[in-house]
Structure 1
Amino acid sequence: MQHHILLVEDDASIAEMVGGYLTKEGFRVTTAADGEEGLSIAARERLDFIVADLMMPGMDGLEMIRRVRESSAVPILIMSAKDGEVDKALGLGFGADDYITKPFSMLELAARIKAGIRRATTYAGREEQQATRLLTFDRLTIDLDNFSAMKDGATIKLTSKEFDILKLLATNPNRVFTKAQIYGLVWQDDYMGDDNVINVHMRRLREKIEDNPSDPQLIKTLWAIGYKWEGK
């Protein structure tokens, strides 16, 4: 099966270079020059992955990602020309699953895309299972087989990474996970000490499942150690 990738990049030379490489890797690549065009394509095409630049004229990458996330859980990777923590935090906070900083290795980009598609494909395949495993914690219900969660009967929109973190913690109650362990198990990559990736995802997850994210009762922080699940 040929996976369909949307590449949103306003620099024509970069778009041509990245698009050409990914095509050689066996992907079907559709390109867009700005966020508005990218959003239009995402609305009408079946996509397996989105690679988006942050800084673009008109609708930027952040706004495009936010609007895509309103209706789709397609894996999204941000390409950023800036190495600042603010850019990474904003991008991931708006619903992206991963980021890569320019200049980057084409080999690394392709590897990240393949890993993201593999995780998403695994989720879709498992939805066909008949048996449904549910975890219930007071007003929160986690459906492990359908990769979804509900609070007070309403579905919670989670990215794949947010669900992976939720599942990891909720299926191992009271076990403490360090940030390095969470990164290794969820991102399936070596931890490079970038706490911001974990912090942003944890903040977003808490905003969705906790009654008061500033005083979390489900996911507890053990300062300088990590996190653990205390939901009952």
Structure 2
Amino acid sequence: MTYRILVCDDDREIARAIGIYLRSSGYEAVEAHDGTEALELCRTQTFHLLILDIMMPGLDGIQTTEILRRTHNIPVIMLSAKSEDIDKIDGLTAGADDYMTKPFQPAELIARVKSQLRRYTSLGGMHQTPTAAVYRTGELVIDDASKTVTVDGDPVNLTPREYGILLFLTQHAGQVFSISQIYEAVWQEPAYNSENTVAVHIRRIREKIEINPKEPKYLKVVWGIGYKMEKLHPKQLG
């Protein structure tokens, strides 16, 4: 199978160069040059990953990702000329799965693309496993065969990374994991400065599964240690 990747950057030379890197690594690459064009392409074509610049005229990368997340859960790698943590946090909060600062090495970009596609194919629903288990805590149910999540019977739309975190913690409900342990289990790479990345994803998950994210019933922080998924029976939820 050949993966199709959409590259969106208003700098046409950068978009073209990234497309060349991707094609030389065996991927199919399509180029867009603003957020509106990228969203239209996603509406009419199938892509497995989006590489998206933050700073673009019209719809910027943050706005484009927020709109995309209403209907698509494909991985998004965000690019920026800025290296400040606040820009990275804004990107992740909008729904991006990874963030790279320009300039970057082509080999690193390809490595991150491979990592995101690996997670997407295993957690994002591309390849369904009929024998996969169903995990439940309280009224939160994860069907790992269909890669679906429901709370009180209502579907929850998660990105592949969010799904990976939720699945990992639910599989080990009641156990406490450090941020580094969560990162290494879900990202499948060594944890390095992963605190903000994990915290932003946890916050987004809470916003989707909790009635009151500030007083969570499911995904709880254990101060000074990390996070855990509460092990609940359905009747424990009022």
Answer whether TM exceeds 0.5 for this pair: yes
- What SS class does the counterpart of residue 2 from structure 1 fall into? coil
Partner of 1:192: 192
* Alignment partners' CA distance in 2, 1:118 and 1:132: 18
CA spacing shift, 1:126–1:42, aligned 2, 3 Å: closer
Contact 1:173–1:229, Cα closer than 8 Å, also in 2: yes
Provide the C-alpha distance between the structure 2 equivalents of 1:146 and 1:42, rounded to a whole number of angstroms: 22
2:141 matched residue in structure 1? 141
Distance 1:48 1:201 in 2: 20
Percent identical residues: 38
Q: Which residue of structure 1 lines up, in the alignment, with residue 235 of structure 2?
A: none
Contact 2:8 2:33 in 1 (8 A): yes
Paired residue for 2:73? 73
**What residue number does 1:214 align with?**
214
Alignment gaps of 5+ in structure 2: 233-238
C-alpha separation in 1, matches of 2:33 and 2:27: 19
- 1:140-159 map, 5 Å: 140-159=140-159
Aligned to 2:236: none
What per-residue deviation string (whole Å, max 9, x for no partner) do you get for residues 68-90 of structure 1? 11111111110111111221111
- TM-score of the superposition, structure 2-length normalised? 0.92
CA distance in structure 2 between the aligned counterparts of 1:103 and 1:189, rounded to whole angstroms: 22
Q: Match of 1:53?
A: 53
State whether residues 7 and 15 of structure 1, in contact with CA within 8 Å, keep that contact through their aligned partners in structure 2: yes
Residue of structure 2 equivalent to 1:127: 128
1:117 Cα deviation from its structure 2 partner: 1.2
SS at match of 2:57: coil
* Structure 1: runs of 5 or more not aligned: none
Aligned-partner Cα distance in 2 for 1:149–1:7: 29
Contact between 2:4 and 2:30, CA under 8 Å: does it hold in 1?
yes
Shift of 1:8: 0.3
The 1-side partners of 2:41 and 2:203 are apart by 30
Cα deviation code 1:70-125 (max 9, x no counterpart): 11111111011111122111111111111111111111110111111122223435
